[in-house]
Amino acid sequence: MSKHINVALIGNPNTGKSSVFNHLTGLNQKTGNYPGITVEKKQGVCRLPRGVKATVLDLPGTYSLNASSLDENVVIELLLNKNDKDFPDVAVVVSDVENLKRNLLLFTQIKDLNIPAILVINMSDRMRRKGIRIDTEMMEQMLHTKVALVSARKNEGMALLKEHIAAYKKISTKPCLSIDQIDPDYFGSLQQTFPNQSLYKLWMVITQDVNFARVERKRMEAQDGNHTRSTSFLKRLQQKETIKRYQFINQVLKACYVKDFQKATDLRGRLDRILTHKVWGFVIFFIILMSIFQALYDWSGVPMDFIDTSFAQLSDWVKTTLPSWLAPNLIAEGIIPGLGGIVIFVPQIAMLFFFISILEETGYMSRVVFITDRVMRRFGLSGKSVIPLISGTACAIPAIMATRNIENWKERLITILVTPFTTCSARLPVYLILIGLIIPNERILGANLQGLVLMIFYLLGFAMALLAAFVLHKIMPNNKASYFVIEMPNYRLPLLKNVVLTLIEKTKSFVLEAGKVILAISILLWVLASNGPGSTFKNAQEEVAKTVAVTDSGFEQQLSAYKLEHSYLGILGKGIEPVIRPLGYDWKIGIAIVSSFAAREVFVGTLATIYNVGDAEEVTIKNRMASETYADGSPVFTLASGLSLMVFYAFAMQCMSTLAIVRKETNSWRWPAIQLVVMTAIAYLGALATFQYFNL
């Protein structure tokens, strides 16, 4: 037996596939994208009995091998291509004990590809409560496989599953259905033309519009074109195949599966009547949102203050301790403040991911999608648009990728264009630092005022997304509306291991991705701020000494300010200041806005770098921003300018990675260009109106 094998984890959405993956791989997992496409790829390593090591690939959720989205295409392309480095030695199909009939459709299709397949029946801990009994031995005989009853929640059955995986070579590859029964003449001719090929694999290549299949189809057509039939003919055969499969599945379940409906509780139905109510559903969702934002401020203050102070102390220590050949000024004034500007928000970002993960684990997010579908329809969006808009609160990039399951092009395009309005985690550092500066830490009717303001800006993003969608729906050509179907998963207690792994993975991804950009920009900004053209910058000390005595306590501060203003960075900032001054911003904020186009969260890191250049005092970024003033002594960050900045970031694109994804998804630079111009214009006008109103 091979000491290293590939395992593909496959299953319908909401069957607990991710939980099984986490139990098998633990922390030995990594994420990335499939080559050439932006669909997330999760891979992990698992130790099996008898010294076998397995690479486990968690494939996107799919209901069948009849693909209707790019995510599902990924599954088929892998299973059809034996030359792929990730091609599985064994497929582990995860099913839900309460929806076994539907789950078995996918299992029988994978089994018929002659791939050793193991059936995992998850949530077995619910069997007694739901009055379910399964004869696993009989099921194994009828399906020609191995069956593992597991409970990912209670970590039961995992040892047996690992045993089955390690012994995969003993699993029969006999198909569940003879595909030629559907149309003997057609499939007989196909088999005669390609006698050495798997008949069901040939059928998949013909019917599925996937990258690998297109290559194979060309080869097949070059050999013989008699198998090529009309789309309607192939669709009819697919329907016959599905009917045949369900007839077989019904026979299996009749012999092996018993459910006593009298024992099944109606708790789910009672909860759904409340949580999906057309009024109370929204009230409950609003209360949950408000509670989350309150917790972000009430629980994160201490760790944030500790991080802020620690980075300030570290910067001061580097300046006074490291030798000159290690470039202490670059490290202390550029790198450390820039990274500190992101790390300080890790507690709040981690808490946000924590709460979102809990909502997803409990099954509540599917209910949110369901109730908001009614609202989406009024604005010309598909019900499927809800998923990208909600997932956009984490990041717009995977949210835009999630639009691939929207069949209607107009609805998909509108969703792509408006999704960046939703408040992503990259905006969170901007909101948090500004709210902390301009909004008092007070309570109104027991609610934290800062948390209320944060929630208002989240809702503002959703509102603008809906308004933009409504306008686009009216001005874009009419198109046939699509239908929205969503499965309501069972309610369940959050699995702590899943929540923790999700929290670690997403927080780590945010910090590392933002950290790479901030590190590069911080170094560039420090270089630009520490150097300047001509004698004006070089003779800074003499120029400042004309107005402030060298022995004066404020000389060093004046010298730092003078150098910064006459540096390359200062000249650039002064050049754009006339454009942004009506919004209440100075040239330093302008530099931060321009640099944050690389990523929104760079805004805080940029200001941290700018404000620390030449500053000899140990001072936190928050205190430094609070003390920043104009030449006349008036504060830079006021209620008017702070709210103006927040409105600007609420509406502006400010993310080149998102633009790149929009380009990839629309296959044109036209739409990202329009998106950038329109969103920037809306942001500028909104920020201008906000500043002028609150500055009266």
pLDDT band at 35 (very low <50, low <70, confident <90, very high): very low
Can you tell me the distance from the alpha carbon of 571 to that of 564, in angstroms, rounded to the nearest whole number?
A: 9
The C-alpha R_g of the chain, in whole angstroms, comes to: 30
Q: Which residue in 532, 607, 608 sits closest to 564, CA to CA?
A: 532
Can you tell me the distance from the alpha carbon of 631 to that of 236, in angstroms, rounded to the nearest whole number?
A: 77
pLDDT band at 582 (very low <50, low <70, confident <90, very high): very high
Work out the average pLDDT over 458-481: 84
Is the CB of residue 342 less than 8 Å from the CB of residue 360? no
Work out the average pLDDT over 575-597: 88
The 3-state DSSP class for residue 65 equals coil
For residues 2 and 551, the model is more confident at: 551
- The pair of structure tokens assigned to 679 is 């969103």
| Residue-wise burial string across 395-416, b where 16 or more C-beta atoms lie within 10 A, e elsewhere | bbbebbbbbbebebebbbbbbb
Per-residue pLDDT at 318: 85
List, for residues 495-523, the tens digit of each pLDDT value: 787 788 778 877 777 677 667 766 777 77
Per-residue pLDDT at 146: 94
Highest averaged pLDDT of the listed ranges 239-243, 483-487, 682-686: 682-686
- In order, the DSSP letters of 409-425 are HHHHHHHHHHGGGS--T
Do strands 117-122 and 146-149 pair parallel, antiparallel, or not at all (unpaired)?
A: parallel
Can you tell me the distance from the alpha carbon of 102 to that of 166, in angstroms, rounded to the nearest whole number?
A: 27
Residues comprising the chain, all counted: 696
- Start-end of H helices in 40-99: 70-80
* Residue 477 buriedness (CB in 10 A; 0-12 / 13-18 / 19+): exposed
Single pTM value for the model: 0.63
Rounded to the nearest 5 degrees, what angle is found at the Cα of 74, between the Cα atoms of 69 and 78?
150
Per-residue pLDDT at 160: 92
pLDDT band at 481 (very low <50, low <70, confident <90, very high): low
Per-residue pLDDT at 64: 85
Residue 252 has pLDDT above 90, yes or no: yes
List, for residues 126-179, the tens digit of each pLDDT value: 787 777 889 999 999 999 999 999 988 788 899 999 999 999 999 999 988 888
Can you tell me the distance from the alpha carbon of 561 to that of 656, in angstroms, rounded to the nearest whole number?
A: 31
Question: pLDDT exceeding 70 applies to what percent of the chain?
Answer: 86
* Residue 227 buriedness (CB in 10 A; 0-12 / 13-18 / 19+): buried
Per-residue pLDDT at 688: 95
| Beta bridge partner(s), residue 46 | 54
Work out the average pLDDT over 478-496: 68
List, for residues 90-101, the tens digit of each pLDDT value: 999 999 888 888
Work out the average pLDDT over 418-432: 86
- The pair of structure tokens assigned to 577 is 């200041």
List, for residues 338-378, the tens digit of each pLDDT value: 777 678 768 877 887 788 788 878 888 778 878 877 777 78
Per-residue pLDDT at 619: 59
Residue 215 has pLDDT above 50, yes or no: no
Do strands 117-122 and 90-96 pair parallel, antiparallel, or not at all (unpaired)?
A: parallel
- Of the given ranges (54-63, 191-200, 666-675, 677-686), which has the lowest mean pLDDT? 191-200
Q: Which residue in 491, 496, 488, 456 sits closest to 357, CA to CA?
A: 496
- Of the given ranges (28-32, 129-133, 669-673), which has the lowest mean pLDDT? 28-32
- Of the given ranges (311-325, 440-454, 487-501), which has the lowest mean pLDDT? 487-501
**Segment (H or E) for 328:** helix 328-330
Work out the average pLDDT over 287-298: 79
Per-residue pLDDT at 407: 66
Is the CB of residue 300 less than 8 Å from the CB of residue 347? yes
Calculated CA dihedral for residues 84, 86, 89, 95, nearest 10 degrees? -120
pLDDT band at 617 (very low <50, low <70, confident <90, very high): low
> 434-442 long-range contacts, Cβ below 8 Å, gap at least 24?
434/637, 434/642, 434/645, 434/646, 435/642, 435/646, 436/622, 437/622, 437/625, 437/626, 437/637, 437/642, 438/637, 438/638, 438/639, 438/642, 438/643, 441/297
Contacts of 669 (CB under 8 A, 6+ apart): 663
Residue 36 has pLDDT above 50, yes or no: no
The 3-state DSSP class for residue 69 equals coil
In the chain the domains, ranked by start, together with CATH numbers, are 4-170 (3.40.50.300), 274-298+348-475 (no CATH), 306-336+495-694 (no CATH)
CA 430 → CA 83, 158, 309, 606, 648, distances in Å? Answer: 47, 44, 19, 11, 11
The 3-state DSSP class for residue 487 equals coil
Per-residue pLDDT at 37: 40
Per-residue pLDDT at 213: 47
Rounded to the nearest 5 degrees, what angle is found at the Cα of 242, between the Cα atoms of 236 and 248?
140
| Amino acid found at 416 | I
Residue 33 has pLDDT above 50, yes or no: no
CA torsion sign for 11, 13, 16, 20 is positive
